[in-house]
Amino acid sequence: MKKNLVSRAALAAAISAASSGSMAAGFYLQETSGVGLGRAFAAENTIGDNASILARNPAGSALFDTITLSGGLTYIDPEIDVAGDITYLFPDGSGGLGSQTFFDTAKDYASDAFVPNGYIAVPIDPCWSVGLALFSNYGLETDFSSGWLATNINDKSELLTVNIAPSVAYKFNEQFSVGVAANFVYADAKLTTKVPANFPIVPALSNDSILRYDDADDWDVSWSLGALWDIDERTRLGISYHAEIDPDLSGDLSSDFLPTAVIPTLPLFDDARANAPLDLPDTLELGLYHRFNDQWGFAAGLTWTDWDDFETLEAFVPSARTGTDFEPFNPLVFREENFESGFRYSIAAEYYPCDQVTWRIGYAYDESAARDGLNRAETAETGFPVTWRSLAIPDTDRQWVTFGGTYEYDQHWSFDGGLAYLWGDDETIQEFTSIPVPTVFDGQTTNTEAWLLGGSVNYKF
């Protein structure tokens, strides 16, 4: 089998595992506040109920005339189930290929998660203000059970990001404000694939490590811009742009198979240093808020995410060489994702029965970043159908229905809560790997849903 096919197939799912737990397009996290959760994050970069607006729009600190704090936590309980045929191919002893096919299911393999956030907005004078936001834009954790018969395609994966964003805003007048922020982003990843437990083809290989990529992390610096326009006393328009983030994850790579399975003269990876660039997309968000009267308000949001930049996952292993000029693992292609850019549409209504209480409902439609159909180059090279959508990233269009509220205890303290239910359509997934034996998965997602529960506490000095 071709060298590049073996190396790519062996590592594909492990590094490409970067979505399932986030429950948003690709592996983007919307969960920046409890108040926003209640309205499906419609116009979250515009309304400015509290300082959490700073996660979406650095101009947000201009909305406050006193120091304002906000902090919260969102609990994400996703459930993704898949089922399908797993076929192992092996020499039959007579020069041909034999095969064994098993039907298997994986239930609830996207892990629960808590996503914290914290914000402060500080006015300096009538024109200038500053802010600080701590939140997460991207994240996941998937963990297949030890009995899953395709752990050589996908086993465990984890991606954590933390965004620290100091900002400054300028208020031109009562209508216009602009802001800019620096985004200091920390990313950490842990990824594994292994031979299935109780491997029926070669039992002696059971649980051997195909890939273990540990302690892969990096810091990167990016930026964001935003503006707010109070069209009148009841209507506000917001726009914000977050530039792309490009951490170069550096971690330790180990394997019981590689690179020997590709080039027998090379030693196995044993905590070999590897660098994996990760292209996280830029986003553009528009928000509109209008308060019809003393009791009703309306919010609408539109977010564009430039997933087109997320094309190929690859790593560089400087120590993997057979000679001065020959570096077969530089780059080592993990997987061609070929994501596509998409939009998120959201609307919400707010009801104000009294000065202390706000109720809100919301709906959102989140377009998938994963492409439909077959990866034709991979399909032609392997001889088996391979979809762009993978077990690691079973991304699909998702719909949100949300409910929430705010209680203002007094002029200083307020409390937010939100609840959301998400669901997506079932999608076909077909994948191939070659280690330890050629393995084909042919199946689909059978359930994609999540419950989200969030809350926050706010204080105005």
Q: Kindly report, residue by residue over 52-65, the tens digit of the pLDDT.
A: 999 999 999 999 99
Find out whether 416 and 72 touch, Cβ atoms under 8 Å. Answer: yes
- The CA-based angle 121-127-130, given to 5 degrees, is 25
Q: What is the pLDDT of residue 91?
A: 84
How far apart CA 395 and CA 27 sit, in angstroms, is: 9
What is residue 328's predicted lDDT score, i.e. its pLDDT?
Answer: 58
Contact 150, 194 (CB under 8 A): no
Do the beta carbons of residue 11 and residue 334 sit within 8 Å? yes
Look over the chain and give the mean of its residue pLDDT values, rounded to a whole number: 88
Interval 97-155: pLDDT, tens: 889 999 999 999 888 989 999 999 999 999 999 999 999 988 878 889 888 999 998 88
Contacts (Cβ under 8 Å, ≥6 apart) of 187: 138, 159, 160, 161, 217, 218, 219, 220, 245, 247, 249, 278
- 402 exposure class (CB count in 10 Å sphere: 0-12, 13-18, 19+): buried
The predicted structure's pLDDT at residue 196: 93
Q: What is the mean pLDDT of residues 167-186?
A: 97
* Nearest alpha carbon to residue 84 among 149, 181, 33: 149
Q: How far is CA 164 from CA 133, 167, 339, 418, in A?
A: 6, 10, 26, 24
pLDDT over threshold 50, residue 21? no
- Average pLDDT for residues 254-279, to the nearest whole number? 83
**CA 386 – CA 378 distance, rounded (Å):** 6
- What is the C-alpha separation between 307 and 24, in angstroms, rounded? 13
pLDDT for 334 equals 67
174 burial level (CB within 10 Å; 0-12, 13-18, 19+): exposed
| Cα–Cα distance for residue pair 77/23, rounded to 1 Å | 9
Share of the chain above pLDDT 70, in %: 91
At residue 268, the pLDDT reads 84
Does residue 450 carry a pLDDT above 50?
Answer: yes
Model pTM? 0.90
311 pLDDT higher than 50: yes
Q: Tell me which of 345 and 3 has the higher pLDDT.
A: 345
> Residue 257 belongs to what H/E stretch?
none
**Overall residue count recorded for the chain in this entry:** 461
Structural domains of the chain, with CATH: 3-460 (2.40.160.60)
Distance CA(76)–CA(35), nearest Å, equals: 15
Average pLDDT over residues 435-449: 93
Which H or E element spans position 289?
Answer: strand 283-291
User: CA–CA separation, 316 vs 126, rounded Å?
Assistant: 51
Residue 215 confidence (pLDDT) above 60: yes
Q: What are phi and psi of 37, to 5 degrees?
A: -60, -35
DSSP per position, 197-213: TT-SS-GGGTT-EEEEE
- Please say if the pLDDT value at position 79 is more than 80: yes
Tokens 């997506």 found at: 424
Pairing state between β 332-336 and 312-315: antiparallel
pLDDT of residue 353 exceeding 70, the answer is: yes
